[in-house]
Every structure is written in C-alpha cells, then in structure tokens.
C-alpha cells in the first residue's frame, strides 16, 4: 500500500494545511491500496503563489531549455513504463498488460510529441505594420479525471510546459497515486520549483478554490459535462480562460457497403477498452436495419470473448469499473435499457461468473435500440454497447448527430471516399475512418456539450498561448 502524507508545492514535499485523508480503493479487490492527503483552500493558495512566482522566470526560459526538459520527462516515462502500468492497474483496475501499453504508452507518446513544440513559441508573424508574438497565458489550474490517471494530466501538462506556463494540478481522488509518481519524476529531472504543483482533495474544496483564485489565469478540466459547467460558472467571476473536455456519446456508423460483422466486432471489443471508461468510446453502433442480425451476432461473439477479472489475474482482457459508485451507475443504465425495451443480447445485471468481490460488470450489448432511449442519449461510461438500426444513410447521419455531445466518432465503408463524405457530416471533433488509429499529434477537439478547447499536438498549444500585436 502506498501512503502519501505530503503535497508537492514549490519544488518540495510539504505537509498539507488540510488534515483529512483520502483512501484509494483497488477496484479489483475493494481493499485500500493507498492513502493521500485531503488538501484545502490554504494548500491551493500556497500552490498558486508558488506557480505565480515561478512564472516570472519560467516564462522567459528558452524554447531549447523547455524542449530539453520535456525530452528528459519522456525518457523517464519510457524507463518507468511498467511502473506506470502497475500503478494504473492497482488504482484503476486496468489489466496489467493492457495498462502498461495503454496508460504507460500513451503518456510516453503524448509527452514525446511535445519535444519540438516549444519552438512554436518563438515564431513571429508579420501582418501589415504589426508583429504578432506568442506569450504563455500564465498560471494554469488542471482538474483531471480518474479514467486515465497519467495521460489526462500529461495532455495538459505537456503543452503548458512547452508554452512556458506554470501549473497546479488536482487529480481525481479515486486515482491520485500516479500523480504523486509524476510529481517525483518532474522533481528528479530538475523541473524548476513552482512550475508544477500537486494538491489532492475534493473538487468542492480544492477544485473550486482553483477556479475562483484571482491569480489562476486559465483552468482546464476533463470530466463530466456537469462538472465542466460548474467550473465555467466559477471561473467566470475572474474572467479566466476555460478549456473543457467533457462527456461523449460517440457513434460508430457502419454504412451499407461496410463489412458489418467487422465493424460490429470492433465496436463491441472497443467498448470494453479500459472497461468502457473512455470519453471518446464508440458506444452507439449504427447499422442498416436489414443487416442488424449480422451485427448482433458479431457483437455478441466479441463481447463474450472478453475475459473479465482482476487487474493482476492471468489472461484477463477487461478489469473492473473504477469504483462502487461507477459500478452502481453502469448497472442502473443496464436496468434502464431493459426497462425501456431494448433487446439484451449479452451481459446484463449479473456479476461475471466466479466474481462476488470487486466492481465487475459483464460486457453488455443491446440491440433494437432507439436513439431516444436513455441508454442511447446519456453517457454510461462502462462496457455497454447500443446497436441502433437505420433505414438509409441520411437517417443514419441524423441519428448520429441527435445528441448533445460531439466528442468522437467513426465511419466504416467499403469506400474510403464515401466514409470521408459521411464523416464530414458528423458533428464531432474527430472521426476515425475504417479503423484509423488515434494520433497523439492531431488535435483532440470537441463540439457541442462535449466542451470547449482542444488538446494534443501543436494545436493543443494554443490553449496556453496569448497573442500580442506590436504595431511598428
């Protein structure tokens, strides 16, 4: 068990002002696997003061210096890929082998992709008699979720460091252990004091203190739409910039000429990745009505091939969901789907065979889903796939866009040209074409109530940049 009794502020591990403790629960066993401090507003004040002081010098460092440090951080991630995987397996429940590649590998990929980005800050633009330069926005507050304990911090931290910003991070109280490991890595590589600060604690205390603090210049949150709205409301009082990466109910659209069985199998297997706890999860599968039976058979086979178990069990391909609260939420949606008349293809409310401890949910597939059903409209954040039949392509596009969210999507077709044409009509920030791989250098953007802003790649830098025009 890991016990942390200090916060990382101004380059040091310091005793918190808050006196509470937070137990971290291993979702595979329901046992306590760690303890971290529960900070308060005084801790936030100290962290922000350190970040503000450090900004004066860090913001003026050379791009070459920041690039070198980012490279060192990426190298440390690479050296400790297995350690990251073990931490995430323990506090989140992702199977160890998957966790090493997913959580460790994604952290490496994103941080490495920013090694050359600091040099973007030195580029100037001439418009008429004006010179346009870039400056870092200032002190940034990050509120990160539990589903990707390292990546969700790194996706914000890497561009912030590249720009020359300083940061205060509040990780999720459910999976904070990886953040403590990250703080020590940053300390060990020589990141200057005050550039990175870590304060754990409840969102209502620590998160809200960050959002309302007058010396915090921008807030970036990844979380639920409800949390994003709250952050925007709090930040408005001091006119901060707010970047929100929020909920999703993304669609995989299989066109008439697609390999329906292949698309359905990928959708069913994909919804089980990270136990379905992925904001960009393709949780709605749209298929031609005449071919729904093909999709059902393929999705059922894929779901039933998933091996559910503890993060450190041999041969496991899907672990538990993250917590008792998440377990109850996912099961409540499965129950709702049954009550609303969707056809339960596989999975359901029963625990997986042999499991009576841990927050385990069976991979679940519903068919004959209407897009006005609760399970088709609300983000479940679990291993639950909804198969929705359509009658023609125009109707399919309409169904795809009939959601408050606009985070991700996918299109499958026998013709890449046709798939791209359909993808252009889907109102989401990114669309995978025929299984196109996720690209950490491309902008991760979102539409509608999935949030405001962007992350990843050179475009992600813009969230942390102010433009200044100098007239000659």
Active site residues: 245, 279
State residue 381 phi and psi, 5-degree precision.
60, 50
Q: Which helix (H) or strand (E) element contains residue 162? A: helix 151-163
CB 170 within 8 A of CB 200: yes
Instruction: Name the DSSP letter for residue 306.
Output: -
Angle of CA points 154, 121, 238, to nearest 5°: 70
CB 167 within 8 A of CB 217: no
**What's the chain's Rg over C-alpha atoms?**
22
In sequence order, what are the beta bridge partners of 142?
169, 220
Instruction: Name the DSSP letter for residue 441.
Output: T
CB burial of residue 315 (10 Å; 0-12, 13-18, 19+): exposed
Tokens matching residue 338: 């049954």
Burial 49-59 (b: 16+ CB within 10 A, else e): bbbbebbeebb
271 torsion bin: left (phi>0), alpha (psi -120 to 50), beta (else): alpha
CB 106 within 8 A of CB 158: no
Q: Mention every residue, 6+ apart, whose C-beta is less than 8 A from residue 204.
A: none
Distance CA 123, CA 121 (A): 6
State residue 309 phi and psi, 5-degree precision.
180, -175
CB atoms within 10 A of CB 64: 10
Distance CA 406, CA 445 (A): 9
Q: Mention every residue, 6+ apart, whose C-beta is less than 8 A from residue 144.
A: 152, 153, 156, 169, 170, 171, 172, 179, 221, 222
**In the chain, what's the furthest Cα-to-Cα distance?**
74
């Amino acid at each position: 068990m890991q016990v942390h009794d200090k916060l990382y502020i101004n380059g040091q591990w310091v005793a918190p002002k808050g006196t509470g403790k937070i137990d971290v629960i291993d979702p595979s066993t329901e046992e306590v696997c760690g303890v971290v401090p529960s900070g308060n507003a005084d801790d936030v004040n100290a962290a922000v003061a350190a970040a503000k002081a450090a900004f004066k010098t860090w913001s003026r460092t050379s791009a070459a210096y920041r690039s070198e440090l980012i490279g060192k951080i990426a190298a440390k991630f690479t050296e400790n890929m297995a350690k990251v995987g073990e931490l995430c397996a323990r506090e989140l429940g992702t199977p160890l082998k998957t966790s090493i590649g997913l959580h460790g590998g994604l952290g490496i990929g994103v941080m490495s992709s920013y090694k050359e980005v600091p040099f973007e800050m030195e580029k100037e633009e001439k418009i008429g008699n004006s010179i346009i330069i870039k400056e870092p926005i200032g002190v940034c507050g990050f509120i990160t979720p539990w589903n990707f304990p390292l990546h969700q911090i790194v996706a914000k931290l890497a561009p912030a460091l590249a720009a020359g910003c300083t940061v205060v991070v509040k990780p999720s109280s459910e999976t904070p252990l990886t953040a403590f490991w990250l703080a020590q890595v940053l300390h060990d590589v020589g990141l200057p004091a005050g550039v990175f600060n870590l304060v754990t604690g409840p969102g209502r205390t620590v998160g809200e203190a960050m959002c309302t603090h007058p010396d915090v210049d921008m807030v970036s949150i990844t979380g639920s739409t409800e949390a994003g709205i709250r952050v925007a409301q709090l930040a408005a009082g001091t006119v901060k910039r707010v970047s929100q990466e929020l909920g999703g109910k993304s669609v995989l659209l299989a066109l008439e000429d697609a390999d329906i069985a292949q698309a359905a199998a990928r959708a069913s297997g994909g919804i089980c990745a990270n136990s379905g706890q992925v904001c960009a999860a393709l949780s709605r599968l749209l298929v031609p009505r005449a071919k729904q039976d093909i999709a059902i058979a393929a999705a059922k086979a894929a779901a039933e091939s998933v091996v559910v178990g503890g993060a450190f069990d041999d041969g496991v391909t899907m672990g538990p969901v993250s917590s008792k609260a998440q377990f109850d939420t996912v099961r409540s949606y499965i129950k709702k789907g049954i009550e609303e008349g969707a056809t339960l293809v596989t999975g359901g409310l029963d625990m997986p065979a042999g499991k009576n401890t841990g927050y385990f949910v069976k991979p679940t597939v519903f068919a004959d889903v209407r897009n006005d059903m609760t399970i088709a409209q609300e983000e479940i954040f679990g291993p639950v796939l909804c198969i929705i039949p359509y009658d023609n392509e125009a109707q399919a596009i309409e169904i795809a866009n009939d959601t408050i969210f606009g985070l991700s999507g996918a299109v499958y077709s026998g013709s890449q040209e046709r798939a791209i044409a359909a993808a252009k009509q889907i109102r989401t920030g990114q669309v995978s074409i025929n299984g196109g791989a996720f690209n950490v250098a491309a902008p991760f953007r979102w539409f509608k109530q999935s949030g405001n802003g962007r992350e990843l790649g050179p475009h992600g830098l813009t969230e942390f940049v102010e433009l200044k025009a100098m007239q000659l």
